[in-house]
Amino acid sequence: MKNQDGLSRRARWAGGETIASVLMARTLAQPELISLAAGFVDSETLPIESTQKAFDAIWSDPARAKAALQYGTTIGYPLLREAVLQRTVQADGTTAEQLNVSPEQVVITAGSNQLLFLVSDTLLDPGDVVICGAPSYFVYMGTLGNLGVRAVGVEIDQHGMIPEAVDESLTRFEAAGELGRVKAIYATTYYDNPSGVSIPAERRAALVELAKRWSRNGKIYLVEDAAYRELRYYGDDIPSLWSFDPTGEVVIHAGTFSKSFSPGIRVGWGILPQTLVEPVLAQKGNLDFGSPNINQLLMATVLEQGFFDVHVQRLRESYRKKLDAMFSAADEFLAGIDGVDWVRPTGGLYVWLRLPDGIDTGFSGALFDRAVDEGVLYVPGEYCYPPNVPKLTKNMLRLSFGVQSCDSIRRGVELLGRAIREVL
Ligand SMILES: Cc1ncc(COP(=O)(O)O)c(C=O)c1O
């Protein structure tokens, strides 16, 4: 086909309109819609006051103020890198010494999406393979498509990625003589987007063992996306996938303050195997030679002054109520419908709903327009799957409980229940 616009392959692979922009357009066109689609954090709990106090602390210290307004380094602000590492090892119940890791392996990025992109751009050539859950975080599926990479989905259950399914997938690639093309396994380990599920400790250990065992034709990394770790409303924290690899060679750990503090500040990070630090920094050097310094100093100050932990506690309380509101509404309005089913998450922002077989939740299916007519918006599940899943499940959808009030969540679920009954 003639390339009329003179676009690069990468630009063409980037694809057209994103699912987010389609849904956004619907919301703008009908502002009275209750959107249970947007994966945004709640505007009502954004940390205005603590951000202001942290800025005050920066402006009242001339050295910090100057640093904040100056370019920084490619790898990121040292105090923030130290704090991120310290907090991670502490949450994992270990120490930097035990894991033989240093702040020199922590790279600060403009959100964890940038880290995921940089790492992918560093490791993957067109035609390479990343194994991921089916479903998976759709923005990252887009990133992989943009790089010409094959995202290959494996089955998940209520405990997330199934190690046996990964093993089978790798066996198939080996049989096809393509094991060398598999470069990474990607998983959101806490309160997955969209499935809401977390991977338990035993599976984390099994995934690390798998990645090591299958790295015989070339290294297979595990990319751990821990974007929602702090948003835990019930149960105990689980040590990160990263902490299950004492060699520090296999897991790339991606984290972010977007969900736990503010996506507007957009500070994320990666903790990388030693050997990847330089190559990733070379990519970042060419891209922006360092993320905005003012945001990094701001987050370092927010952590240092204790504002972060207080904020996360507040968030947990507020989102816990919303999660409860969603489930009491689901019990009331959805549970009575034959074939409707869900796994109750204990954190994060999402609920992954299964509808009766035969209901197509997509834009061209009967439910979507009916739901919009009733006044509620959701994310059709099919957009959350990697491309070319052998049997695409059409009857799934994602609901978010982050943005709406408890009352609107209840009303939204009621309207959804009504729409489902109408199409049945
Ligand atoms: C699973 C997952 N990973 C990463 C991100 C990226 O967040 P950010 O780039 O703001 O850190 C998101 C945002 O929605 C997400 O859902």
Question: What number is the average pLDDT over the span 369-373?
Answer: 95
Question: What number is the average pLDDT over the span 403-419?
Answer: 97
Question: What number is the average pLDDT over the span 181-209?
Answer: 98
Give the pLDDT confidence of 203-253 residue by residue, as tens digits. Answer: 999 999 999 999 999 999 999 999 999 999 999 999 999 999 999 999 999
Residue pair 251/209 in contact by the 8 Å Cβ criterion:
no
Residue pair 359/370 in contact by the 8 Å Cβ criterion:
no
Q: What angle do CA 345, 132, 107 make, to 5 degrees?
A: 90
Q: Which of 109, 137, 379 to mutate to test the pocket of ligand 1 (most atoms within 8 A of CB)?
A: 137
Question: What number is the average pLDDT over the span 398-410?
Answer: 97
CA of 254 to the centre of ligand 1 (A): 9
CA of 172 to the centre of ligand 1 (A): 30
CA of 90 to the centre of ligand 1 (A): 22
Atom 14, ligand 1: residue with shortest CA distance: 39
Query: Does residue 188 sit in helix, strand or coil?
Result: strand
Question: What number is the average pLDDT over the span 169-196?
Answer: 98
> Is 18 exposed, middle or buried (CB count within 10 Å of its CB: 0-12, 13-18, 19+)?
middle
Confidence of residue 25 (pLDDT cuts 50, 70, 90): confident
Q: Which of 107, 186, 193 to mutate to test the pocket of ligand 1 (most atoms within 8 A of CB)?
A: 193
Evaluate: CB of 35 within 6 angstroms of ligand 1.
no
Atom 16, ligand 1: residue with shortest CA distance: 193
CA of 302 to the centre of ligand 1 (A): 20
Pairing outcome for strands 221-225 and 182-188: parallel
Evaluate: CB of 258 within 6 angstroms of ligand 1.
yes
- Give me the pLDDT at residue 302, please: 98
In ligand 1, the atom with minimum distance to the C-alpha of 39 is 14
Confidence of residue 2 (pLDDT cuts 50, 70, 90): low
In ligand 1, the atom with minimum distance to the C-alpha of 116 is 4
Pairing outcome for strands 341-342 and 350-354: antiparallel
Atom 3, ligand 1: residue with shortest CA distance: 227
Fold of 9-46+310-423: Aspartate Aminotransferase, domain 1 (3.90.1150)
Give the pLDDT confidence of 306-358 residue by residue, as tens digits. Answer: 999 999 999 999 999 999 999 999 999 999 999 999 999 999 999 999 999 99
CA of 113 to the centre of ligand 1 (A): 6
- Give me the pLDDT at residue 387, please: 87
Evaluate: CB of 113 within 6 angstroms of ligand 1.
yes
Evaluate: CB of 225 within 6 angstroms of ligand 1.
yes
Higher pLDDT, 12 or 74: 74
Question: What number is the average pLDDT over the span 181-191?
Answer: 98
- Give me the pLDDT at residue 388, please: 77
Evaluate: CB of 77 within 6 angstroms of ligand 1.
no
CA of 227 to the centre of ligand 1 (A): 6
Please give the helix or strand (H or E) that residue 64 lies within, else none: helix 62-69
- Domain ranges, ordered by start, for the chain: 9-46+310-423, 49-305
User: Mean pLDDT, the chain, as a whole number?
Assistant: 95
Question: What number is the average pLDDT over the span 399-410?
Answer: 97
- Give me the pLDDT at residue 1, please: 54
Beta carbons within 8 Å of 129's beta carbon, 6+ residues apart? 149, 150, 151, 152, 173, 178, 181, 182, 183
Q: Which of 112, 198, 295 to mutate to test the pocket of ligand 1 (most atoms within 8 A of CB)?
A: 112
How far, in Å, CA of 137 to CA of 195, rounded? 9
Give the pLDDT confidence of 254-271 residue by residue, as tens digits. Answer: 999 999 999 999 999 999
Query: CA torsion, points 324, 329, 330, 334, in degrees to nearest 10?
Result: 180
Atom 8, ligand 1: residue with shortest CA distance: 111
Question: What number is the average pLDDT over the span 37-42?
Answer: 90
Fold of 49-305: Aspartate Aminotransferase; domain 2 (3.40.640)
Evaluate: CB of 112 within 6 angstroms of ligand 1.
yes
- Give me the pLDDT at residue 5, please: 82
Confidence of residue 83 (pLDDT cuts 50, 70, 90): very high
CA of 4 to the centre of ligand 1 (A): 34
Give the pLDDT confidence of 270-284 residue by residue, as tens digits. Answer: 999 999 999 999 999
- Which residue, among 323, 394, 325, 382, has the nearest Cα to 357 in the 3D structure? 394
Q: Which of 252, 257, 259 to mutate to test the pocket of ligand 1 (most atoms within 8 A of CB)?
A: 259
Question: What number is the average pLDDT over the span 41-60?
Answer: 97
CA of 118 to the centre of ligand 1 (A): 14
- Give me the pLDDT at residue 421, please: 96
Give the pLDDT confidence of 107-162 residue by residue, as tens digits. Answer: 999 999 999 999 999 999 999 999 999 999 999 999 999 999 999 999 999 999 99
Q: In which residue are the tokens 């952590």 written?
A: 303
